[in-house]
Chain A
Amino acid sequence: MCFTSNFWSLTIDGLNNGFLYALIALGYTLVYGVLQLINFAHSEVFMSGAFGGLLLTQALIGSSNPTGLTAAGYVALGTLMGALVGAIVAFMLERVAYRPLRQRHAPRLAFLITAIGASYFLFSLAGHLFGRDVYPAPDLLSHKNLFSIGSRGIQAYDLLVAGSAIGMLILLDRIVAHTRLGQGIRAVAQDAETASLLGVNIDRVISQTFIIGGLLGGAAGFLFCLVNNVGYTMGFVPGLKAFTAAVLGGIGNIRGAVLGGIALGLVENWGVTCVRNSWRDVIAFAILVLILMFRPTGLLGERLGRSA
């Protein structure tokens, strides 16, 4: 009864979350693919993207009250700015935090500690620069129902998230499958040493991988903030969820990250249709553990090298 009456609304909300998780999860999975590193600072790339997009749109909007095409333009600009800031932060992160370790052949654990340290550094810096208050996001999208699925009216935001996420995911899939850059990424993922012998510039490929992850994560940050406001610790939970999604789908696997994100988004919403919301993570993570018990490498397995 409660399940059927809430089903469609929770499914659409779940898909919205799922697409955003997927975009962030790709950042984890791509970096894992080439470096075998869980980049825990990626949640801060997401947060930076949200701040970047928000500050730009706030500055552009000023005291005006944009609607229609102008508002849509601001959304597009904000998303691009979010992606840009995310890419810059991710690039800097690799340069400053990881590359020196790589050159000194530091042990795996050093990378992990660095990642956590970088995450604390970045969100504390954001707290210092932007204040520890929560920034309200501008209300740019119309909340009119365009059409309905079941009892749930579909609004501009639902289409925006689904459209931009699917667009970016397809584009990424094509890039990895068909371009020189994609070949490089796959080669490094399969066997970095051999790839370098064959003339692949590993450092450059790794940088580019971080940039791609940053673009997606930063854009997701702005899309997320449009309905959720922005604060310096906002990346914490979405980052953890996206990491979970990446592991669920099979870490290192691009399509797996997408599938894992959408699955997690749906499962955590369906799980609480009939019980209290405070059960959300209990149910979602119990399912995750069950799946990993039976498929320890995730739904689609680990395989960035052969992912296309």
Chain B
Amino acid sequence: MDTKHVIRAAVPIAVGAVLLAGCGGSSSGGGGNGNSNSGGKSFSIGYQGPLSGGNAALGINMVNGVQLALDQANAAKTLPYTLNLVKADDQGSADGSPPAAQKEIGDSSVIAVVGPAFSGATDAAGKIYGQAGLLIATPSATLPTLTDEGFPTFYRAVADDYAQGPPDADYLVKVAGKKKIFLVDDTTDYGKGLAAAFKAEVTKAGGSLAGTDSAPQTSTCVPGATGSTSQYPSEASKVKNSGADAVFYAGYYCDFGLFAKALRNAGYTGQLMSGDGSYDSHYISGAGAKNAEGTLLSCQCSSIADNPKGADFVTQYKAKFGQDPGAYSAEAYDVTNSIIDVLKGLGSSPTRDSVVKAYPSVDYQGLTKEITFGADHNLKVQTAFLYKVVGGKLKYLGDLTDLTK
């Protein structure tokens, strides 16, 4: 029969199409702007992160912070030379990361890089930077295993997910008094890592797990993902029937929005909580403000607007870029300043090599935190903060360690 042949041909082709769609990543060179100052010696600081694509907002928050720090240093003549910015766009993806890294490495004026911004991108480029002997200090990549990979020039100037997972569990169980918790991860590296960090602490804190589940990211939220949105209503039923009085979701904001909506539609009234992947106002619009109300979100990013030391930064940022600083803007600003602080001790001709040698012993008090590293290339003091959705907005509650004391 003719028809069977068509189906036999159609299925492998369909599967092929699926696979192609799954690995469709594109790379585009970011706009480098080495606007060299006239006269005098100059060096460059690189930034690698998403500057285009679906997650660009986060990357732009950061690159603006870097720019501001460099401009201030140049204006104050902190160093005996000027510093320029070289931007490399990796679209936040692992695929886009190596070409972006090559751009920074290939530019001989670059002596240190702020970034990569995302965990997957860091994982993909850490080795290349290491071979080139170029310092990378990330303000935002939180996947705990990144510092286990032995990338020689990689420093994580942000707390990892162990800083939010266990305290999140403590907060839910001890402070909010939610004893039975349902834990859902989104099957990504980040989600699984955060879920594992959270899970271990639940029983220690005196709570119990009403259930655990994995719900893959959906094609509505992530192009090429294979999770079906239809999973959320049934997930909501499972949560409801488990008798859990809180749900912790380890994943990103878009899918968390769908899940929160399904939970509230099903009449679930328990506490909702998630980590920094869901710390974004799009979570509130995606879930619907009514459904998101009361959700707790932790983040290693501090709220600069609620920080007494940050007033000056906020004013200058706003004057320069015409908008308020966003998530991780101040963190990127701090990391850049920590590099500038190191450069002060390196005379008038720093090299990649001298920066890599000097940076591990940096001790810089930034706006958001103290940047000083342990032997594992992680921050010595790990902090994370807690936020709550109140009246459709993210409200700062405080430092997680203080809140769970």
Task: Determine whether B206 belongs to the interface, using a CB cutoff of 8 Å to chain A.
Answer: no
A209 to B2, CA, bound (A): 21
B197-250 contacts to A (CB < 8 Å): 212-216, 218-224, 226-235, 237-238, 240-241
Contact A136 B257, beta carbon cutoff 8 Å: yes
* Contacting pair B285 A278 (CB below 8 A): no
Cβ contact of B234, chosen from A151, A224, A269, cutoff 8 A? A269
Q: Which residues of A contact B218 (CB under 8 A)?
A: 237
Q: Which residue of B lies closest to A111 (CB)?
A: B6
Return the contact of A277 from the options B14, B215, B219, B291 (Cβ within 8 A): B215
Given A36-B3, A281-B226, A139 and B282 contact (CB-CB distance below 8 Å): no
**Which residues of A have CB within 8 Å of B62?**
none
Which residue, of A236, A272, A281, has the highest number of chain B Cβ atoms within 10 A? Answer: A236
Q: Which one of B54, B231, B288, B290 has the highest number of Cβ atoms from chain A below 10 Å of its Cβ?
A: B231
Residue-wise interface mask of A (100-138) relative to B, using a CB-CB cutoff of 8 A (1 in contact, 0 not): 000000001100110010010000000000001110100
Task: Tell which of A13, A108, A139, A229 touches B257, judged by Cβ atoms closer than 8 Å.
Answer: A229
State whether B233 touches A143 (Cβ < 8 A).
Answer: no
User: How far, in angstroms, from A240 to B18 measured CA to CA in the complex?
Assistant: 9
- A-B pair number, CB within 8 angstroms: 144
Bound complex: CA A38 to CA B4 (Å) = 12
CB contacts (< 8 Å) of A269 on chain B: these are 230, 234
Per-residue A-contact encoding for B254-292, CB less than 8 Å = 1, 0 else? 100110011011110000000000000010011110110
Interface string of B182-194 (1 = CB under 8 A from A): 0000010000000
On chain B, the residues within 8 Å of A265 by CB distance are: 230
Indicate whether A252 reaches chain B with its CB closer than 8 angstroms: yes
Is residue A228 contacting chain B, with contact meaning CB distance below 8 A? yes
Interface pair B13/A36, CB less than 8 Å apart: no
Inter-chain contacts of B221 with A (CB < 8 A): 134, 231
Given A228-B258, A247-B7: A237 and B13 interface contact (C-beta under 8 Å)? no
Task: For residue A161, give the distance in angstroms from its CB to the closest CB of chain B.
Answer: 11
* With A143-B265, A269-B234, A280-B228 as contacts: A134 and B220 at CB distance below 8 Å: yes
Contact pick for A227, options B240, B262, B267, B290, CB 8 Å: B262
Q: Whole-angstrom distance from the CB of B330 to the nearest CB of chain A?
A: 25
Cα–Cα distance between A268 and B230 once the two chains are bound (Å) = 10
**Size of chain B's interface in residues, with CB distance under 8 A?**
57
Q: Nearest chain A CB to B14's CB is how many angstroms away?
A: 7
Interface status of A152 (Cβ within 8 A of chain B):
yes
Contact B9 A108 (CB under 8 A): yes
In the assembled complex, the Cα of A231 lies from the Cα of B219 at a distance in Å of 9
Chain B contacts of A302 at CB under 8 A?
3
Looking across the interface, which residue of chain B has its beta carbon closest to that of A65?
A: B290
Q: Is the CB of B214 within 8 A of A278?
A: yes
Which residues from chain B contact A40 at a C-beta distance below 8 Å? 14, 17
| Minimum CB distance partner of A280 in chain B | B231
A235 to B229, CA, bound (A): 10
Q: How large is the interface on A (under 10, 10 to 19, 20 to 34, 35 or more residues)?
A: 35 or more
Which residues of chain A come closer than 8 Å to B241, judged between CB atoms? 5-6, 9, 151
Contacting pair A272 B227 (CB below 8 A): no
Residue of A9, A16, A38, A136 near B6 (CB, 8 A) is A38
Contact A136 B288 (CB under 8 A): yes
| Contact yes or no, A17 B230, CB < 8 A | yes
**A236–B218 Cα gap in the complex (Å)?**
10
B311 near A: Cβ within 8 Å?
no
Which among A5, A13, A224, A265 has the greatest number of chain B C-beta atoms within 10 A? Answer: A13
Determine whether the beta carbon of A112 is less than 8 Å from that of B9.
Answer: yes
Cα(A16)–Cα(B232), bound, Å: 12
Out of B229, B262, B287, name the residue touching A237 (CB < 8 Å).
Answer: B229
Q: Is B21 an interface residue (CB 8 A)?
A: yes
Top 9 closest pairs, chain A to chain B, by CB: A9-B237, A236-B219, A278-B214, A234-B220, A17-B230, A233-B223, A13-B233, A228-B229, A237-B219
6 further contact pairs, Cβ within 8 A, besides A17-B230, A116-B13: A13-B233, A134-B254, A228-B232, A234-B229, A277-B216, A278-B187
Spell out A's residues near B (CB within 8 Å). Answer: 5-6, 9-10, 13-14, 16-17, 36-38, 40, 108-109, 112-113, 116, 119, 132-134, 136, 139, 143, 145, 151-153, 155, 157, 224, 227-238, 240-241, 243, 247, 251-252, 265, 268-269, 272-273, 276-278, 280-281, 296, 302
B residues adjacent to A (C-beta < 8 A): 2-4, 6-7, 9-10, 13-14, 17-18, 21, 53-54, 187, 212-216, 218-224, 226-235, 237-238, 240-241, 254, 257-258, 261-262, 264-267, 282, 285-288, 290-291
What are some 18 contacts across the A-B interface (CB < 8 A)? A38-B7, A38-B10, A38-B14, A112-B9, A116-B13, A139-B290, A145-B267, A153-B267, A227-B265, A228-B220, A231-B220, A233-B224, A236-B223, A241-B228, A268-B228, A276-B212, A278-B216, A302-B3
